[in-house]
Each structure stands twice: as C-alpha cells, then as structure tokens.
Amino acid sequence: MLRLSRRNKRAAGARYETQARRYLEAQGLTYIAANVSCRQGELDLVMRDGGTLVFIEVRYRASERFGGAAASVDRRKQARLLAAAGYYLSRHPTDLPCRFDVVAMDANGITQWIRHAFDGAFA
C-alpha cells in the first residue's frame, strides 16, 4: 500500500480545501478565513452564509471502507472543532449565529455539503 508523506498529505489537504471553498462560494457563501489553528485544533474554513458564521471541516476519503469522509468527523473531532471555533470567536467576536458544516469528498469526485453537521456548546 502506498503511503503519502506528511508533506504530500498537507498538499492534498490544501487542494481539497481549495475545491471545497470554490464549491461553497458557488453556493453563495463568502470566504472569511482558512486554516485557523490553535493548540486544541484547526478550522479548515470559516465562511459566512447570509447572516450565519459557518465553521467548515473538509474531509476526503478515497473509499467508504471505514465509513467514508463524513463519518470520520467523530465526537473527538467535533470536540476539537468546537475548541478551535471558541478560539476563533475569542479573537473575532460576533453576534452572528454560528454553525458547523462538513464538506465530504470521495475519489469519485462526489462532494457532499452537510449543513448543521453537529451541534455543540462553546466552552
């Protein structure tokens, strides 16, 4: 089995995040930030959907073998995204409502946008 180096994984991740951004912009969302990171986690994309601030996790999986891209955003990953969103909001306060979306992509070129992928309270 071919294993990608860390550098190649980052490059591939950047490509999928760019594809997701373009897809979401075509759906009417406005780009705000990318790769917002803190000690607890990272936000792939931060965008605005009308009057809502959206934190977006971009996932790619070549196969559905272990549940696919969307299923990979488990409770542990959700907790990390919540922490990163809290970090972002501490530096960029807003009165806008917030939500968490997932953009899941597969090897067949199928992109699935899951709005309100999970709920959570900011700690």
pLDDT in tens, 77-101: 899 999 999 999 999 999 999 999 9
Residue 80 lies in a domain: yes
Residue 71 lies in a domain: yes
Whether residue 71 has pLDDT greater than 70: no
Spell out where 10-67 has E strands. Answer: 30-38, 41-49, 52-61
pLDDT at 108: 80
**Cβ(84)–Cβ(46) below 8 Å:** no
Whether residue 49 has pLDDT greater than 50: yes
The 10s digit of each residue's pLDDT in 58-67 is: 987 665 665 5
Sign of CA dihedral 109, 111, 112, 118: positive
pLDDT at 123: 43
Percent of the chain with pLDDT over 90: 57
Residue 87 lies in a domain: yes
pLDDT at 1: 47
Q: Please give the residue range of the domain that contains residue 38.
A: 6-118
Cα of first residue to Cα of last residue in the chain, in angstroms, is 41
Question: Sorting pLDDT into bands at 50, 70 and 90, what band is 68?
Answer: low
**CATH classification at residue 20:** 3.40.1350.10
Residue 1 lies in a domain: no
**Average pLDDT across the chain, whole number:** 85
Backbone angle region of 35, left / alpha / beta, with phi > 0 → left and psi within -120 to 50 → alpha: left
Residue 12 lies in a domain: yes
pLDDT at 35: 95
pTM of the model: 0.85
**Lookup: tokens for 66:** 């272990």
Residue 123 lies in a domain: no
| Total tally of structural domains belonging to the chain | 1
